């Protein structure tokens, strides 16, 4: 955190000043470790084992915050007897389909819900990264559940959890992670001792956590701990993601993602969502509790914002105009399609995949096989110059004179040359004022896309093709200003906030959204950012003039709420759990919820409220159901549906690992997304032979002095001089084993590429004792490329492409490689070296990576919900 988010780290230091104990878990000793009270070196890719160990520690010693767990989580909920755990199936859950490498979730359900089958085709859900939808809400379950408040029922979530994690003993944690038992126990003790009624503990992760083939389950495990300890929805608690880009939160809220529409509305699927109603119901889930009950209004209002007057209730608000998904259209699938010549044109908008994405070679080969490429950036980045300056030029894989890709480089406007909002990592929108005009041809994306749309519409004017209607009917009349005709960002923000179609009055919040076409809302969760016609995101009331929650600085979605689910900061009766930790509470005199923050609850719904039978939507939520976006108003320790790789997290080895999974026969995530393609050969891992060809674990991350792919730091003298070269950090022990000298050269070889780096031999890295073996890890920063003031090989070239099944994010934080002293070969000799390694490791082009590595697969297949399945929901 000190390494990649130094300014955020000031708050950790504040906490430390006040006596907080800081633990840091990282494969390498970083600037954060230097300031932490305890540092735990861990083998990359084993966090679930560590966190699972903590879960076990909590349950075995009954250290959970019982009152909280009983009232606010599904710990007491009883699960169907069809469910079989990894404990029974050697690392698989019931319902596994070894042909499709996916689960039928029918056997995971709550007791009595077996027959609800919204979307059991998890193979399809994986293709469409359905998991991402849950960024703002849980998957559906019916309101009422069977519970055992004593937590003794063998199939209640609490007992299932206990059994599932029973294997994660301190000794097992040590075997898997390489963390000594005492260290682990110190962590578990401190975490539990500092949670409960009087104290809270916070879990902070950097989004490297998401870059694993089990990334979502990493975060699930953290959430389970924080829920068991009562650290959710309370000040000083939570699971905090340190996101690495100024508006990466915003770019999923208002997504530029293939499977999402603004506000986490799903992109329609050709088979599941033929009609508007079916699409809306798939979001709304009739009969479900919680705020998604109104999704019809959000959906209708979005389409109204898109197609304006053309969108009417009669024509389903032009629902028909929306393109349909048929499967995986993610960025990595796209790249492989590029290599196969299926993609004509490619836009890169402030993005540098040649350096920043996994398997840089595949990225560049893909770009070299396009008809045209548009790059919009501040600087000349590697992705714009692959045709003249890339490793493939040196190896002869790309020949400039034979590369047909037509490249447009359009200079972009910087953050001070345009106005607009960023959404930072805690969902806070902050408006930026424009300071100066952009120089020369530099333009904002707002300008580019507005005018691109204008030109397209002009060119299509008069077209009779049905396909062009969507463009021609588009509501695309934004006011512009200035000599360059810059569109008004405030006008766009107003549309995002939503307004009354008749009067143009900006909405005060999403409750005002209507499903009859009388309102247009660009992104329902952002509704309220322009309440009362005031740009709430531009508020800059000094921290000195308001309390510590600072509600009048910027605007946080939803409804300017700073801590989600903050109803949980009060006990079921609505009283603060403790005076020290009071945040939001029920005021019986006023008959309303009050506190420091905007209550994440209906303002006047008393704690005593109990829903009438059959109530759904918000009425369905009881006065003590704090998790208002969840189908049952409870925090889920066990996910009966929605998480594609299991209702509970399980430790699986990374896709590339030198270690056989000590926990189960199932080596790696059985549902991970694998692409079998000649360019994408994965290094062998046990139980496959030859894994010793790539004996070392490598992991990559950021340096304080640089930013992601380096496009905004290697080009900036002030930063370039601070970290002027690519280096690899190795432990003294590995340096000795391989024969590396400080400041000398080393090269790293994977099944895809070879890169070279200067060597830093440092005591900050340590070998680990894993399952009786000594495992060496090396670390590199991934900022370097061939352009800019300081250059170096691209570390991400080493990675292959394997994705998390829930969100299709690649595993690019851990891989295996060999480390050799000296500089790498150049030209064709480099390809020969890789080929030699592929030969030694048996990585033949036709080799298929074994997904299932346990005999229990067939049994798991039997254990489906009555074996019944529906093929693809061609309803």
In the window 2-41, what residues touch other proteins (CB under 8 A)? 2, 4-10, 13, 29, 31-39, 41
Of residues 402 and 579, the one with the C-beta less far from other proteins: 402
Beta bridge partners of 803: 673, 810
Tell me how many residues contact other proteins (CB under 8 A).
Answer: 220
Q: Does 204 bind other proteins (CB under 8 A)?
A: no
> Among residues 452, 485, 534, 829, which is the contact residue for other proteins, using CB under 8 A?
452
* DSSP helix, strand, coil percent of the chain (3-state; round to 5): 30, 15, 55
Site for other proteins in 719-748 (CB under 8 A): 719-725, 727, 731-733, 735-739, 741-745
Q: What is the DSSP string of 181-219?
A: HHHHHHHHHHHHHT-SSS----EEEEGGGGSSTTHHHHH
CB of 643 to other proteins, least distance (A): 18
> Among residues 345, 479, 828, 850, which is the contact residue for other proteins, using CB under 8 A?
345
Of residues 344 and 610, the one with the C-beta less far from other proteins: 344
SS3 label, residue 171 = helix
Of residues 165 and 209, the one with the C-beta less far from other proteins: 209
Q: Does 684 bind other proteins (CB under 8 A)?
A: no
Q: First CA to last CA across the chain, in angstroms? A: 48
* Residue showing tokens 């996916």: 102
CB of 67 to other proteins, least distance (A): 32
Q: Does 323 bind other proteins (CB under 8 A)?
A: yes
What one-character DSSP code corresponds to residue 159? H
Q: Which helix (H) or strand (E) holds 556?
A: strand 555-556
How far apart, in whole angstroms, are the C-alpha atoms of residue 801 and residue 866? 35
Stretch of 465-473, 611-619, 681-689, 826-834 contacting other proteins, by CB under 8 A: 465-473
Q: Does 208 bind other proteins (CB under 8 A)?
A: no
Of residues 157 and 442, the one with the C-beta less far from other proteins: 442
Q: Does 137 bind other proteins (CB under 8 A)?
A: no
Of residues 590 and 773, the one with the C-beta less far from other proteins: 773
Site for other proteins in 59-78 (CB under 8 A): none
How far apart, in whole angstroms, are the C-alpha atoms of residue 738 and residue 236? 45
* Residue showing tokens 């994408």: 680
Stretch of 57-65, 118-126, 243-251, 634-642 contacting other proteins, by CB under 8 A: 243-251
Site for other proteins in 361-390 (CB under 8 A): 371-372, 374, 377-380, 384, 387-388
CB of 677 to other proteins, least distance (A): 17
Q: What is the DSSP string of 774-802?
A: EE-EEEEE----SSSSS----GGGG---E
Q: Are 47 and 213 a contacting pair, CB within 8 Å?
A: no
Q: Does 177 bind other proteins (CB under 8 A)?
A: no
Cα angle 76, 79, 84; round to 5: 130
Q: Does 467 bind other proteins (CB under 8 A)?
A: yes
Q: Which helix (H) or strand (E) holds 378?
A: none
How far apart, in whole angstroms, are the C-alpha atoms of residue 279 and residue 298? 12
Q: Does 839 bind other proteins (CB under 8 A)?
A: no
Q: What is the DSSP string of 586-631?
A: EETTTTEEEESS--SS-TT--TT--PPTT--BGGGS-TT---TTST
CB of 96 to other proteins, least distance (A): 26
> Among residues 92, 358, 520, 648, which is the contact residue for other proteins, using CB under 8 A?
358
How far apart, in whole angstroms, are the C-alpha atoms of residue 731 and residue 340? 41
Q: Does 46 bind other proteins (CB under 8 A)?
A: no
Beta bridge partners of 23: 38
Q: Does 808 bind other proteins (CB under 8 A)?
A: yes
Of residues 406 and 516, the one with the C-beta less far from other proteins: 406
CB of 664 to other proteins, least distance (A): 25
Beta strands in 447-591 (DSSP E): 480-481, 486-487, 499-500, 519-520, 555-556, 584-587
Q: Does 280 bind other proteins (CB under 8 A)?
A: no
Of residues 165 and 555, the one with the C-beta less far from other proteins: 555
Q: Does 480 bind other proteins (CB under 8 A)?
A: no
How far apart, in whole angstroms, are the C-alpha atoms of residue 305 and residue 477? 12
* Residue showing tokens 């080929």: 835
> Among residues 90, 100, 240, 347, which is the contact residue for other proteins, using CB under 8 A?
347
């Amino acid at each position: 955190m000190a390494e990649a988010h130094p300014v955020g780290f000031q708050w950790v230091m504040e906490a430390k000043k006040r006596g907080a104990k800081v633990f840091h878990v990282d494969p390498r000793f970083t600037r954060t470790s230097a300031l932490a009270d305890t540092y735990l070196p861990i083998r990359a890719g084993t966090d679930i084992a560590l966190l699972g160990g903590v879960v076990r520690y909590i349950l075995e010693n009954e250290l959970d915050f019982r009152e909280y767990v009983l009232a606010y989580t599904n710990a007491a909920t009883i699960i169907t007897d069809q469910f079989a755990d990894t404990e029974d199936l050697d690392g698989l859950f019931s319902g596994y389909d070894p042909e499709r490498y996916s689960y039928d979730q029918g056997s995971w359900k709550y007791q009595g819900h077996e027959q609800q089958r919204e979307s059991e085709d998890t193979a399809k859900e994986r293709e469409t990264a359905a998991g991402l939808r849950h960024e703002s809400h849980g998957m559906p379950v019916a309101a009422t559940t069977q519970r055992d408040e004593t937590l003794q029922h063998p199939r209640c979530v609490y007992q299932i959890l206990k059994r599932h994690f029973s294997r994660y003993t301190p000794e097992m944690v040590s075997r898997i992670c390489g963390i000594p038992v005492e260290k682990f126990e110190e962590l578990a003790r401190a975490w539990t001792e500092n949670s409960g009624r009087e104290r809270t503990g916070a879990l902070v992760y950097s989004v490297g956590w998401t870059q694993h083939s089990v990334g979502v389950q990493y975060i699930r495990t953290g959430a389970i701990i924080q829920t068991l300890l009562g650290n959710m929805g309370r000040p000083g608690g939570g699971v905090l993601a340190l996101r690495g880009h100024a508006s990466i939160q915003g770019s999923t809220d208002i997504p530029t993602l293939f499977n999402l529409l603004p506000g986490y509305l799903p992109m329609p699927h050709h088979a599941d969502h033929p009609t508007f109603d079916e699409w809306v119901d798939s979001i709304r889930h009739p009969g479900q509790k919680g705020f998604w009950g109104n999704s019809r209004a959000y959906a209708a209002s979005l389409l109204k914002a898109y197609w304006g007057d053309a969108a009417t209730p009669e024509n389903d608000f032009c629902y028909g105009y929306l393109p349909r998904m048929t499967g995986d259209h993610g960025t990595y699938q796209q790249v492989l399609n590029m290599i196969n010549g299926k993609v004509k044109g490619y836009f890169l908008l402030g993005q540098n995949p040649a350096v920043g994405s996994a398997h840089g070679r595949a990225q560049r080969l893909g770009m070299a096989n396009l008809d045209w490429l548009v790059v919009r950036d501040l600087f000349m980045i590697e992705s714009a110059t692959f045709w003249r300056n890339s490793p493939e030029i040196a190896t002869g894989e790309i020949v400039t004179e034979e590369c047909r890709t037509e490249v447009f480089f359009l200079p972009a406007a910087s953050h001070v040359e345009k106005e607009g909002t960023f959404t930072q990592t805690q969902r806070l929108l902050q408006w930026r004022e424009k300071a100066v005009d952009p120089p020369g041809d530099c333009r904002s994306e707002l300008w580019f896309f507005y005018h691109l749309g204008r030109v397209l519409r002009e060119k299509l004017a008069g077209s009779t093709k049905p396909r062009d209607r969507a463009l021609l009917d588009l509501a695309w009349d934004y006011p512009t200003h200035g000599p360059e005709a810059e569109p008004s960002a405030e006008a766009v923000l107003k549309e995002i906030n939503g307004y009354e179609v008749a009067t143009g009055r900006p909405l005060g919040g999403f409750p005002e959204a209507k499903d009859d076409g009388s309102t247009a809302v660009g992104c329902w969760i952002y509704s309220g950012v322009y309440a009362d016609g005031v740009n709430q995101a531009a508020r800059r009331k000094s921290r000195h003039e308001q309390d510590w929650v600072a509600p009048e600085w910027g605007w946080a979605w939803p409804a300017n709420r700073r801590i989600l689910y903050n109803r949980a900061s009060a006990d079921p009766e609505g009283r603060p759990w403790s005076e020290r930790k009071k945040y939001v509470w029920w005021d019986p005199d006023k008959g309303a919820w009050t506190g420091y923050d905007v209550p994440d609850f209906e303002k006047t719904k008393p704690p005593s409220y109990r829903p009438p039978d059959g109530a759904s939507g918000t009425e369905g939520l009881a006065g003590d159901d704090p998790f208002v976006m969840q189908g049952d108003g409870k925090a889920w320790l066990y996910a009966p549906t929605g998480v594609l790789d299991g209702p509970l997290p399980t430790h699986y080895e990374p896709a590339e690992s030198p270690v056989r999974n000590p926990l189960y026969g199932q080596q790696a995530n059985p549902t991970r997304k694998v692409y079998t393609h000649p360019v994408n050969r994965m290094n062998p891992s046990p139980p496959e032979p030859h894994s010793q060809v790539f004996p070392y674990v490598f992991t990559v991350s950021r340096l304080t002095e640089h930013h992601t792919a380096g496009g905004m730091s290697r080009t900036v003298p002030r930063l370039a001089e601070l970290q002027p070269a690519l280096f690899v950090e190795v432990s003294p022990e590995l340096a000795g084993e391989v024969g590396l000298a400080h400041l000398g050269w080393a090269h790293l070889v994977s099944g895809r590429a070879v890169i070279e780096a200067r060597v830093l031999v440092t005591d900050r890295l340590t070998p680990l004792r894993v399952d009786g073996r000594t495992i060496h890890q090396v670390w590199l920063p991934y900022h370097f490329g061939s352009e800019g003031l300081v250059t170096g090989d691209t570390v991400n070239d080493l990675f292959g492409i394997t994705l998390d099944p829930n969100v299709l994010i690649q595993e690019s934080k851990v891989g295996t490689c060999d480390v050799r002293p000296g500089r790498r070969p150049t030209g064709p000799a480099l390809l020969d070296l890789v080929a030699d390694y592929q030969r030694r490791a048996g990585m033949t082009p036709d080799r298929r990576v074994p997904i299932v590595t346990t005999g229990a697969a067939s049994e798991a297949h039997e254990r489906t919900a009555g074996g019944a399945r529906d093929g693809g929901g061609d309803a």
